[in-house]
Amino acid sequence: MLVHSDLWLDQPDSHDRIESRLASGALSATEAEQLHGFVDNGHLMLPLGLDKAFCDALDAEIGGLWQKRPADLAVSPSNGRPMSFPDYDGPVREVGYRLPDLHGHSERALALYLHPAIFRMVELIFDEPAVAFQSLYFEHGSTQGLHRDPMFVATRPVSNLCAAWIALEDITPDSGPLAYVPGSHRLPWFEFEPGVVVCGQNVSREKRAGYSVWQQDKIREQGLERRAFTCKRGDVFIWHGGLVHGGEPIQSPGRTRKSFVVHYSTAADYKSRTARMQVRDGESWRMVAHRTDTIIERDGARGLDSPLHGAPELTSPKPEQPRPALLARLVERVNSFRERRTSGSARD
């Protein structure tokens, strides 16, 4: 399946357009070179020069969140759906956990979410005002299979999507670095249903496996190669929404790969977002969903606030409710007490 793209960098004359903008002074020589690479490869690299003090302070903020466990922040276990932080009872900072929308609870994560240098490149790619709409913190390599973002991150149109992966420490080959396939943004799209590129929760394992085989065949047919992105702290990998990418295996157990990912779309087309997470309800779970259209602006950049941040349902104190099993035991004890009183009265 071929997906139509209005993105100017996807058009046949994109290289000529870049040179024209360079000649007019709209682009610097470095920016023009980066955009040429984006056209050909589907990605570009941008150094932010983050210092160790910034990344250590961000790590300390995350450590504080593990202690406080705010109810309006989700944590995603390595093999589970996002859940309210207080309801998570697994190992602290277990391998594979993620923090969705960390920018709603961390000042330094928000600074990366709205970083002006990244926004400059994103808006050059879109050629119109952009909006950051979600973030994701990783402490370890994702080891995720090769995929394309629109399979899981919906935008309309599909082409109005790009992402930035920010290294928060030096990334080594044994840490499970980001995997990517240069040039794969030009491949056709797999249809999970007729005309649908989204891989929804109802897609069967067989269909997902079929996608993996199909994708590998297309990569091989085009002579494309999988690569690993090893880099220095502060380096940013910005990719086209159609780029095939994933996570390499973690070769050294315990090795971290701290990184922060932000997804962007065009401000004119992405106005709001809904986030969902599981919340414990007695001995069962229920799903909560909240929507936001609140925009945070800073230094010419803009992004949606975390949808769950400050939601009254999550932040208001709740009266302690006895869980069903505990309530049953209490009822049993009361009935037993009543029976003893009755039998005692009969003997008197």
Tens of pLDDT, residues 60-94: 999 999 999 999 999 999 888 999 999 999 999 99
If one compares 233 and 311, the residue with the highest pLDDT of the two is 233
Bridge partners (DSSP) listed for residue 45: 237
More confident position, 223 or 339: 223
Q: Is residue 336 domain-resident?
A: no
| Cα within 13 Å of Cα(43), Cβ side | 23
**Most confident stretch, 93-97, 154-158, 333-337:** 93-97
Task: Say which CATH number the domain at 211 has.
Answer: 2.60.120.620
The H-assigned helical ranges of the chain are: 14-24, 29-41, 52-68, 107-113, 116-126, 205-221, 312-315, 324-347
What does the pLDDT read at residue 80?
A: 86
Judged against a pLDDT cut of 50, whether residue 342 lies above it is answered with no
- Indicate if the pLDDT at residue 269 is higher than 90: yes
**Type and span of the H or E element at 133:** strand 130-138
Q: How many alpha carbons fall within 13 Å on the CB side of residue 37?
A: 15
pLDDT value at 331 more than 60: no
Give the whole-number percent of the chain exceeding pLDDT 90.
83
The mean predicted confidence, pLDDT, of the chain is: 92
Say whether 345 sits in a helix, a strand or coil: helix
CA separation for the pair 213, 232 (Å, rounded): 33
pLDDT above 70 for 330 = no
Provide the number of structural domains found in the chain. 1
Residue 345 lies in a domain: no
In a domain, 1, yes or no: no
- 331 inside domain: no
What's residue 2's pLDDT?
A: 81
Hey, CA dihedral for 332, 338, 341, 346, is it positive or negative? negative
User: Does the pLDDT at position 247 exceed 60?
Assistant: yes
Q: Is residue 198 part of a domain?
A: yes
Q: Are 129 and 302 in contact (CB under 8 A)?
A: yes
User: Residue 304: is it exposed, middle or buried by C-beta count within 10 angstroms (0-12/13-18/19+)?
Assistant: buried
167/189 Cα distance (integer angstroms)? 29
182 within 8 A of 174, measured Cβ to Cβ: no
Tell me the pTM.
Answer: 0.89
Closest CA to 296 of 128, 73, 112: 112
Does pLDDT of 42 surpass 70?
yes
Beta-carbon contacts of residue 20 (< 8 Å; ≥ 6 apart) = none
Kindly state whether residue 12 falls inside one of the protein's structural domains.
Answer: yes
pLDDT at 318: 53
Beta bridge partners of 235: 47
| Domain extent at residue 291 | 8-323
- Check residue 345 and give its pLDDT: 42
pLDDT at 201: 85
Q: How far apart are CA 97 and CA 170, in angstroms?
A: 19
- pLDDT tops 50 at residue 347: no
Highest average pLDDT, of 169-173, 250-254, 307-311, 327-331, comes from 169-173
**Section 334-347 average pLDDT:** 51
Beta-bridge partner residues of 289 = 276
Q: Is residue 102 part of a domain?
A: yes
The string of pLDDT tens digits covering residues 13-31 is 999 999 999 999 999 999 9
For 159-181, write each residue's pLDDT tens digit.
999 999 999 999 999 999 999 99
- CA 133 – CA 215 distance, rounded (Å): 28
Most distant CA pair in the chain, distance: 107
Confidence (pLDDT) at 43: 98
Please tell me whether residue 173 adopts helix, strand or coil conformation: helix
In a domain, 340, yes or no: no
